[in-house]
Amino acid sequence: MSDRAIVVGAGIAGLSAALLLARRGSQVDIFEASEQLGGLLEPVLHDGIACDRGSHRVHPESHPLLMELTQEAQWQNKIRAGRLILNGRQLSYPLDPFRFVRGLGAQTTLAMAKGWLLRPRSFKRALRWESDRHHVVEDEGFESFVVRRVGSAAYSGFYEPYARKVWGIDPSGLSQTVAKQRVSTSNPLNSILKKTVRHFLYPEHGMAALIDLLRSKVEDAGVQIHVGRRFEREELGRAPVFYTGHLGSLVPDAKLSHRGLYLLHITVDAGSLDDTDTWYTPEARYWFGRVSQPGRFSAQLSRPGQQVICVEIPEGQWGPEQNFVDQIDEVMAQLHHASIVKGAVKPMSVQQTFIERVYPMYVRDWVVEQRRVLSEVAASGPVFPCGRQGLFLHCNMDHAVATAAAAVEHWQAGGTSEQWAVQCRQFANFRVRD
């Protein structure tokens, strides 16, 4: 077995793979295309505050490597202060059954209940929502999947407009996976039947602190980090490659596309906000899908009298060239309409960041293409794709770490890249927690 390994990408998956490989005695080089480490966890510096790229939290039931890091860094154990905005109501989030029904509205709830009474099989299907979504090989499509479980009133009143806002296409072309990945937390039965964890972990200085800690561990373990160095597929050779970049760079004809995310970091007067840490706004009337206040995640991320808010606008139908700074008055008006900011608030500063390829776009039967691409990658050499982009996943950071750890373990046990291309299918079913 080669004692040299290459890791492509220095997001949390790549850094974790490098650390685990080095701990087991390999000589490791990491190639990172950007000048900075962190990938999606690289901070955006706004008014001197290292803000996360959108609302990030570490979930308590995380991968052991993340837990090791959190113990060393003595992260804060926080209680969620989320709000879901639906039909003009602000509902404490995660939802309980009472709040869910209030948010959906009496008419939609009644239509859903009536549908279940008339068609008991749809109720049974709704109960199996999570497990049914595993069967992406027989992909019935997003629309059919949702309608057959909660009826057309809930679909057209809630799921369809939200999917259109995020993806910018007619949702009938989307996979049933989207019901899993984007709207899973809105699955009514999930909200009703399952206990939701309300605690989370968060580093005092934001997610950047996690990357700093990982960086120092990786360097202490003797890993060579090369920033500003894009790895090209022509470089594939005999050394094993743990690849966390975009699969399309390895297989140019791959039909695996993404949608990006706009972030607006806006500084406002602290008095214009309440103590919510994150607002969820699925309705199509708002451009944004989520808004968060870094200063509520950690006091270190705010200044006296001021608060930064991070407004997340899905790329959807906008494309990657939109300038929302020029439309800040409309954004502020929507924030006011949603009762996120109180009164007519003038922003002190605004900064836009566009992150490309944030969300894998799961069109119907995507899994067939993903499997084809992964087999082609495996045939090209000892390549072990992992992480969010490497496996075309919409996943949490601990999931990204779990895929990296599994890839390293697989290789160290003598597994081939062809075997990995099959084994990694198990990760297609992560349930995203937000």
Ligand X SMILES: Cc1cc2nc3c(=O)[nH]c(=O)nc-3n(C[C@H](O)[C@H](O)[C@H](O)COP(=O)(O)OP(=O)(O)OC[C@H]3O[C@@H](n4cnc5c(N)ncnc54)[C@H](O)[C@@H]3O)c2cc1C
**Binding region for ligand X (CB under 6 A):** 8-14, 31-34, 39-41, 53-57, 230-231, 244-246, 249, 261, 312, 358, 387-389, 395-398, 400
Q: Which is nearer to ligand X, 16 or 272 (CB)?
A: 16
* Residue 192 Ramachandran class (φ > 0 left, ψ -120 to 50 alpha, else beta): alpha
Q: Write down the least CB distance from residue 11 to ligand X, Å.
A: 2
Q: Write down the least CB distance from residue 193 to ligand X, Å.
A: 23
3-state secondary structure of 104: helix
For 367-404, give one letter per residue: b (16+ CB within 10 A) or e. Answer: bebbbbbbebbbeebbbbbbbbbbbbbbbbbbbbbbbb
3-state secondary structure of 47: coil
Q: Which is nearer to ligand X, 9 or 82 (CB)?
A: 9
Q: Which is nearer to ligand X, 126 or 241 (CB)?
A: 241
Residues 214, 72 contacting (CB under 8 angstroms) = no
CA distance 324 to 275: 25
Q: Write down the least CB distance from residue 386 to ligand X, Å.
A: 7
The pair of three-digit structure tokens given for residue 168, joined into one six-digit string? 């910018």
Q: Write down the least CB distance from residue 68 to ligand X, Å.
A: 16
Dihedral sign, Cα of residue 48, residue 52, residue 58, residue 59: positive
CA dist 295 → 203, 276, 308, 418 (Å): 12, 10, 7, 46
CA distance 325 to 353: 10
Q: Which is nearer to ligand X, 272 or 389 (CB)?
A: 389
Q: Write down the least CB distance from residue 262 to ligand X, Å.
A: 11
Q: Which is nearer to ligand X, 174 or 401 (CB)?
A: 401
CA atoms within 13 A on the CB side of 212: 11
The pair of three-digit structure tokens given for residue 27, joined into one six-digit string? 């000589």
Q: Write down the least CB distance from residue 66 to ligand X, Å.
A: 8
CA 206-207-208 angle, 5° bins? 90
Q: Write down the least CB distance from residue 360 to ligand X, Å.
A: 11
CA distance 339 to 89: 9
Question: Which amino acid appears at position 44 of this protein?
Answer: V
Q: Write down the least CB distance from residue 118 to ligand X, Å.
A: 39
Q: Which is nearer to ligand X, 104 or 386 (CB)?
A: 386
CA distance 401 to 211: 13
CB atoms within 10 A of CB 196: 13
Q: Which is nearer to ligand X, 38 or 347 (CB)?
A: 38
Parallel, antiparallel, or unpaired for β 27-32 and 4-8?
parallel
CA distance 297 to 307: 12
Q: Write down the least CB distance from residue 198 to ligand X, Å.
A: 14
Q: Which is nearer to ligand X, 31 or 145 (CB)?
A: 31
Q: Which is nearer to ligand X, 111 or 211 (CB)?
A: 211
